[in-house]
Structure 1
């Protein structure tokens, strides 16, 4: 514990030192952007309390109704000096009109920020962590709270905490660019209680928890009561907490509302599944619940009407529903059917096993040996975009 604490302190000191040295080194680099953002010294001054509505329309591209809504927190402004500086700075850092409107719609008061004190240091810090200009834009559009965090007091500790949780800074930065609003959860009120709940009350090993969090950090950053509700839904389904599928079931339930889940239940009931068959299928392959209703329907119809499987068989082999219909199921079925029609394959190999083969293994076993006699096999795969090299 002492060693971990020491490493934590050393990492934080390195991050803070990085920020301080980079800030001094790059101050001149950013000064041109900051100065460009503030060229309208004094800005436009107006006694009209509603002039910001027109400003948001003309300068940002909001509709009049949107501008009226977002101008309310800006009613105290009588000059466009700060908004002009903020908009010019954001444009200089790679934000387009749509990105600027998105940020302002979340928090119009960003237009009141001091560029040099409130914005430039954060962009500097993100850049020196290794993020490109476009990366920084993506990170802020996914986690606009970055603009509100104090680098020393808030951003560095959170970066350090997530680095410890996910295992690497690279993974944290990857999620920061692509994952919406995971970074700002409270350590004391959210992260620690959620970890303790999963480990101590649910009995899930930490390594199993960590594997899921690395790809789905939102699961641990939600409110503790929300996580408990997801666990309750998994319990109702009969998913054993000791199962390796338990954490993935929580991920699915986090992304699929009760209404969407019930719609899948109704769909599969229309194909003849019983409630117990549905629960069993989800326990074996929970992620199939995340696909759209239309895609789920098309897959089941193909397996029943074309391949000839019964609904009960599909329920028992629900992992079949995880395979791509267009890129794997249909082309492989067509290849095996053509081989059977020409007497080149007896059909002894189960189609369920054929679907699990890698593309390379499938080609080696079912296509390349018959390339000269049945060239149409490669045509089938080319049409479906499976085989591009031959």
Structure 2
């Protein structure tokens, strides 16, 4: 059966009262579980209301200051029976010490939950969906709210809602494992208002919204006022809302604060870019804004001081800044330079054309024809690949999740770097 369109999903109001009612019930249920655990008898008993500080240090590995902070919601506990059961269960499900600390940090009251009633059904539900043990750990570390939601009243309706929006169960599970706070957002207060705003008020075609929704749902999971602020920033930059770059710019701005945006602008102006050149480069491909400031500086310096490009040329070709220095730019430049010094290659002005070739094409056009005369060319490229494998381009792109992907055409399709 074909997946419903966004328009039809937006009109599906029957799930909304159920979801919001269940959310309230879950909150009440979670609070009652804490109260029940507070009077549990068993485990290690202590009359000291602060004994949980020592417990969190010894059993979970928190620092004393962290333990003091996270023990506050547990002040009514007088026994370690429930916390012991929770920790043992989580370890049995594949959580290591760091993972357990992350979950407890998100809400220490998880230590008060009843394992059989609160946790086991959620883990079984995720297993029934086809997730492996490591997948379940990843999903909960990204979306610990799963541990608070009732399976039938909340998890299933949320899963069905996201499946309708994204079009497939596979995409839901993929984002559940990789996207932070994927299950946190309210359908009524967040998702539907954001989709309606982009479609009806911004005039963005439903198909274009749908493409970005499927690839980066967290853009739509933010508060509506935050999304509106991103639209204002894009408008101020002069990007037409009908442009195919508009949605991608919103996605980049979601990861790049105003302060970081300004710092990148100041850096590029220090190299000679005018204000209009900076704006033009952002409109052509805003992804370079997500590169760390230090790496951006090093890339521009290389292209200006080593390759010989002018700042204006770089501004008109911002895709250059997205290339990996260790894997692509430096090895290929060295290859062409070596050929040039041996009199086998004299077209230095064509570096842009050759640095953007696929690896296969570069080998076919540049390396293989000269491998007998200059066998060192293969060593240069191999060294570049070894370096890139070690660094995984982290220096190029910092920690931004969106930079696993880069826009490659005007249709907003995506490919791995």
What is the deviation of 1:337? 2.1
C-alpha contact 1:334 1:380 (8 A) present in aligned 2 = yes
TM (normalized to structure 2)? 0.81
Query: What does residue 163 of structure 1 align with?
Result: 163
Instruction: Show the 5 A alignment for 1:1-390.
Output: 42-347=42-347, 350-385=350-385
Cα RMSD (Å) of the superposition? 2.3
C-alpha contact 1:158 1:184 (8 A) present in aligned 2 = no
What is the deviation of 1:387? 11
SS of the aligned residue for 2:385 comes to coil
What is the deviation of 1:364? 0.3
Distance 1:299 1:348 in 2: 18
Distance 1:42 1:386 in 2: 56
SS of the aligned residue for 2:58 comes to helix
Distance 1:384 1:54 in 2: 50
Distance 1:386 1:73, change over 3 A: closer
What is the deviation of 1:47? 2.1
Which of structure 1's runs of 4+ aligned residues deviate more than 3 A? Answer: 3-6
What is the deviation of 1:386? 7.0
Query: What does residue 412 of structure 2 align with?
Result: none
C-alpha contact 1:381 1:387 (8 A) present in aligned 2 = no
Render the CA deviation track for 1:277-335: whole Å, top value 9, x for unaligned.
Answer: 10000000110000001111111111111111110111111111111111111111222
Query: What does residue 394 of structure 2 align with?
Result: none
SS of the aligned residue for 1:160 comes to helix
Query: What does residue 17 of structure 1 align with?
Result: none
Distance 2:48 2:346 in 1: 84
What is the deviation of 1:167? 2.2
Bigger Cα displacement from structure 2, 42-51 vs 107-116 = 42-51
C-alpha contact 1:378 1:387 (8 A) present in aligned 2 = no
Distance 1:60 1:333 in 2: 51
Bigger Cα displacement from structure 2, 100-109 vs 339-348 = 339-348
Distance 2:275 2:139 in 1: 43
Distance 2:304 2:109 in 1: 57
C-alpha contact 2:326 2:387 (8 A) present in aligned 1 = no
Render the CA deviation track for 1:324-352: whole Å, top value 9, x for unaligned.
Answer: 11111111122222222333234177222
What is the deviation of 1:78? 1.8
Bigger Cα displacement from structure 2, 44-53 vs 355-364 = 44-53
Distance 1:366 1:197 in 2: 50
Distance 1:149 1:258 in 2: 35
C-alpha contact 1:90 1:100 (8 A) present in aligned 2 = yes
What is the deviation of 1:119? 0.5
C-alpha contact 1:42 1:79 (8 A) present in aligned 2 = yes
SS of the aligned residue for 1:221 comes to coil
Distance 1:63 1:303 in 2: 46
Distance 2:282 2:250 in 1: 12
Distance 1:52 1:145 in 2: 23
Distance 2:386 2:130 in 1: 36
Distance 2:378 2:77 in 1: 68
C-alpha contact 2:42 2:79 (8 A) present in aligned 1 = yes
Distance 2:299 2:372 in 1: 32
Higher relative contact order (CA 8 A, sep 6+): 2
Distance 2:149 2:108 in 1: 16
Distance 1:56 1:375 in 2: 60
Distance 2:170 2:96 in 1: 26
What is the deviation of 1:214? 2.3
What is the deviation of 1:245? 1.4
Distance 1:56 1:309 in 2: 57
